[in-house]
Amino acid sequence: MFELPMFPLGTNVFPMEVLPLQIFEPRYVQLIAEVQDRPEKDFGVVLIDRGSEVGGGDVRTMVGTRVVILEAQEVVEDRWVVAAAGVERIDVVSWLPDDPFPRATVQPRPRADNGGDLESAEMTVRESIAVSLEIAGVEQEPSLTFSDDPLERLDQLSAISPLSAFDRQQILEATTTHDQIDSLRALVNDKLELLRATRDAG
């Protein structure tokens, strides 16, 4: 277990995913300043279950992701543009006082590699993206390139899926690859049915 600065957000992030941030709230400006002095330039991201990103008083999920800063730039005084990348899942063991910004005691969240039909999940994700682009009037499909490592590939597919933050959270919390793949495929299939109906109705 270790202590980590925390950034509760209205979104979540997977390992292998890049998270862009615009930071202006004073406590998070201070968080970014202090994180850049940490050896790994890391902090935690969790989804806000209820409440707002600004002002505190939120209810936070207990599973999130440790991220590291790739780039940080102060565009004007006390306003930062930051790019961070997900590194590993974390469990929040306990929340510490939000003084001056949220902090928590965390530990890595294990994910057992017990297989699963990754190829089927990838096909479903690719189709959901293609239909989404078709609805938006985009004629050319993007060239999607994924890692050759199955675990990294699974997280990349999870990250680009057209799902809500709460659906993403269910996938993020999976403790085995089989469960993650099953959740990903089921949730994206549900989304795909809605996308097809929208396309066909148009």
Please write the tens of the pLDDT for every residue from 167-179: 999 999 999 999 9
Rounded Cα gap, residues 38 and 72, in angstroms: 14
* Domains of the chain: total: 2
Q: Which domain holds residue 155?
A: 118-201
What's the predicted TM-score (pTM) here? 0.91
The Cβ of residue 53 has, within 10 Å, a number of other Cβ atoms equal to 14
Q: CA-to-CA distance for 35 and 145, rounded, in angstroms?
A: 31
pLDDT > 70? residue 97? yes
Tell whether 196 is covered by a domain: yes
Give the per-residue pLDDT at 15: 98
Mean pLDDT score of the chain, rounded to an integer? 93
* Co-location of 12 and 42 in the same domain: yes
Residues found in the chain: 202
Confirm whether 102 is domain-assigned.
Answer: yes
Asked whether residue 113 is assigned to any structural domain, the reply reads no
Same domain, 101 and 25: yes
* In a domain? residue 124: yes
Single residue among 108, 128, 153 that ends a domain in this structure: 108
Q: How far apart are CA 24 and CA 81, in angstroms?
A: 9
Over 90: is that where the pLDDT of 202 sits?
no
Report residue 196's pLDDT band, with 50, 70 and 90 as the boundaries.
Answer: very high
The tokens describing 77, both together, are 């005084």
Domain shared by 94 and 154, yes or no: no
Does residue 53 register a pLDDT over 60?
A: no
pLDDT at residue 5 tops 90? yes
Based on the fold, state whether residues 21 and 81 are members of the same structural domain.
yes
Whether the predicted pLDDT of 164 surpasses 70 = yes
Banded model confidence at residue 52, pLDDT cuts 50, 70, 90: low
* 101, 138: one domain: no
Same domain, 99 and 122: no
Q: Is residue 100 domain-shared with residue 21, that is, in the same domain?
A: yes
From 108, 131, 156, the end of a domain falls on 108
Predicted local distance difference test score (pLDDT) of residue 85: 98
Residue 152's SS3 state is helix
d(C-alpha 159, C-alpha 67), whole Å: 14
Q: What are phi and psi of 147, to 5 degrees?
A: -65, 150
- % residues pLDDT > 70 (the chain): 96
